[in-house]
Amino acid sequence: MRIAKSLLSRRAFTALAGAAVLATMSPAASLAQDVTIPIIVKDTTSFYWQIVLAGARAAGKDLGVNVPELGAQSEADINGQISILENAVAGKPAAVVIAPTEFKALGKPIDEAAKAVPIIGIDSAADSKAFKSFLTTDNVQGGRIAADGLAAAIKEMTGKEEGEVVILTNLPGVGSLEQRREGFLDQVKTKYPGLKVIADKYGDGQATTGLNMMTDLITANPNLVGAFASNLILGQGVGQAIAENNLGSKLKVIAFDSDDKTVGFLKDGSLAGLVVQDPYRMGYDGIKTALAVSKGESVPENVDTGANLVTKVNMSDPKIDALINPKIK
């Protein structure tokens, strides 16, 4: 009988101890066992998207959510992203956060996915009304910011907001890139009539293509004074073209987004400015919003995560420094 009581006491103690451990676990720790919210980016190898993933990873840690980090290895791999989305939904997560690679192609897949789980969009739009919330830079405004930055750089160089300029877009049909193009072209047309857009080119998602396109434009247009490269990949290629031809003092370029390479081009004058988003916030708030939706909470339909023009003059400001030198570990 004593043995039985002793054994019962040990069992009771063990049960109580286990309950105590569970009671002291943070809500985040217990949630981590139950809630999965994948994030799907356009290109897991890109520095920009690594910042987005870092934000999502931090949100997962803070909120106790399991966050699988998914995506293709090229922004041009549209079919790859569709397959990743379908597989993610098949795992029955609490919600999915996605940055669509292409506007039209991702529309129906997102519509289908939304029948099973809540979908949160970040960065780029898709031809779908199924997003529970959409967090992005106002890319039309980003294009306008780029036009203002380019006009200012050209005026500083020549004394006038005049001359031949070009715009280069990384891929056709990408929602965010088309909006940047739209904003840039509209701002030039309405605010800077002295600037003439003589070429409006599309690339194929490769930095080397941007390098070759810009080199050809320089050769064919000796009076060229400015260019807008509307994403990070093109910024790398176009910046390289300017650097190789030593044209930073004669041809001003505004690019979109930043990494070590484009910040280096900004420092040496190959690029005149960078329009920088807040990809870390997109990732963090994307997961935070998805978790809220999965709990049935109300969330904003649209969230503008902001954009800033970075130049050599302001790049050391604390706010700007945090954007161009993010902590991604």
Alpha-carbon distance of 266 to 189, in angstroms, equals 26
Q: What is the CATH number of domain 139-276?
A: 3.40.50.2300
Residue 204 token pair? 């194929």
The total number of residues written for the chain in this structure: 329
Sequence-ordered list of residues with C-beta below 8 angstroms from that of 224, at least 6 positions apart, any chain: 163, 164, 165, 166, 198, 217, 218, 251
Query: In the prediction, which pLDDT does 22 show?
Result: 36
Locate 147 and state its tokens.
Answer: 């036009």
| Region(s) of the chain under CATH 3.40.50.2300 | 28-137+279-306, 139-276
Q: How much is the pLDDT for 34?
A: 84
What does each of the 329 residues of the chain score in pLDDT, given as a tens digit?
Answer: 343 444 334 344 334 344 443 344 444 444 445 899 999 999 999 999 999 999 999 999 999 999 999 999 999 999 999 999 999 999 999 999 999 999 999 999 999 999 999 999 999 999 999 999 999 999 999 999 999 999 999 999 999 999 999 999 999 999 999 999 999 999 999 999 999 999 999 999 999 999 999 999 999 999 999 999 999 999 999 999 999 999 999 999 999 999 999 999 999 999 999 999 999 999 999 999 999 999 999 999 999 999 999 999 999 999 999 999 887 76
pTM: 0.81
Indicate the DSSP class of residue 308.
E
Alpha-carbon distance values, 210 to 148, 201, 215, 229, 231 (Å): 22, 10, 8, 9, 10
Q: How far apart are CA 197 and CA 4, in angstroms?
A: 90
Architecture of domain 28-137+279-306: 3-Layer(aba) Sandwich (3.40)
**Any long-range contacts for 105-114 (C-beta under 8 Å, 24+ apart)?**
105/78, 105/173, 106/78, 106/81, 106/82, 109/82, 109/85, 110/85, 113/85, 113/86, 113/89
Q: In one letter, which amino acid is 131?
A: F
Taking the CA atoms of residue 244, residue 248, residue 251 and residue 253 in that order, the dihedral angle to the nearest 10 degrees is: 90
